[in-house]
Amino acid sequence: MLRLLDGKAMALTVRERVRQAVQALARQGRTPGLAVVLVGDDPASQVYVRNKDRAAREAGIEARTLLLAASTRQVELEARINELNQDPSVHGILVQLPLPSGLDAARIVRAIDPAKDVDGLHPENVAALAMGDSTGLVPCTPAGCVEILDQSQVPLAGSRVVVLGRSALVGKPLALLCLQRDATVTIAHSKTLDLPQLCAQADILCAAVGRPELVRGSWIRPGACVIDVGINRLASGKLVGDVAFDEARLVAGSLTPVPGGVGPMTIAMLLENTLRAAQRSFAKRSGATTQVARARQERC
Ligand code: GUN
């Protein structure tokens, strides 16, 4: 029997957890702050950014959105990021991707203070994940996929995981997260030979390629857990994932729907990353204050 993995409900659990932690900080007079930067007027990005801003506010996070013209130059954008890096009321910075052509996204990401990089894309955070160092910030969508597996009690340790897609935002970090949790992981991509046969070996199949309904029911091992990261809009206007849902539901043991699966989880994990970044910053500052007080005492 198919178990539908309700990402919307699971995201609400995470959002409530964050809201309560933010409330506890507020009682100490501390408020986490998130800055979302949108360059240009891509309609899909506008919707994503609005949703992130609203979700952050609902969690009690002080959110601000910087809307910049598509004509913004690299140096101007880097200067704005630098201002946010210096601003002590901002604990998380997210620059919505993709950026308009002419802007170098990799350089922009590197300009963000790694401690505020709630997208987990700065090379320092990427390296931490690759080294198995859990102190870094992890990209939100892969972290959301693992949270769905955890909340659904789908074990990762010892499982065969196949990740379709090798993007820096999802495929690679998702593979590393699963590896960190003792899964046996294979990353497949557009040049992988005999994709259906490889997928059929997976206990957990994660599709993150951005190709509508690429994964057919016949590719899925009966009873497998299928995580569909894709969000593709067809010419008809219908939203579909990277998995042919109506076929997959007849074979999979558990499956995330599109919409209502991984999507809501991405925003929830952004809130969690912002909370983590803020907690670290508060702890660091109170640690520094204690050190100063101690040094003063010693001098007396
Ligand atoms: N565009 C699509 N997904 C994302 C994301 O997770 N982070 C950023 N910054 N941009 C995106």
Whether residue 94 has its Cβ less than 6 Å from ligand 1:
yes
Q: Which CATH architecture has domain 16-113?
A: 3-Layer(aba) Sandwich (3.40)
What are 115-169's pLDDT values in tens digits? 999 999 999 999 999 999 999 999 999 999 999 999 999 999 999 999 999 999 9
Residues labelled catalytic? 52, 96, 119
| CB-CB contact of 232 with 103 (8 Å) | no
Q: Which CATH architecture has domain 140-262?
A: 3-Layer(aba) Sandwich (3.40)
Q: Roughly what angle, to the nearest 10 degrees, separates helices 7-27 and 140-151?
A: 110
Of all protein residues, whose CA lies closest to atom 9 belonging to ligand 1? 96
140-262 shares the fold of 16-113: yes
Name the pLDDT band for 300 (thresholds 50, 70, 90).
low
Q: Which of 94, 118, 229 for a ligand 1 pocket mutation test, highest count of atoms within 8 Å of Cβ? A: 94
Measured distance CA(94)–CA(118) in Å, rounded: 6
- Alpha helices, DSSP H only, in the chain? 7-27, 43-58, 74-86, 105-111, 123-130, 140-151, 171-180, 195-199, 245-248, 262-299
- Residue 293 DSSP symbol: H
Mean pLDDT along residues 25-48: 97
> Which of 32-36, 135-139, 295-299 comes out lowest in average pLDDT?
295-299
Query: Which pLDDT does position 293 carry in this prediction?
Result: 72
| CB-CB contact of 204 with 160 (8 Å) | yes
Mean pLDDT along residues 112-117: 98
Enumerate the domain spans of the chain.
Answer: 16-113, 140-262
- Give first-to-last CA distance, the chain, whole Å: 72
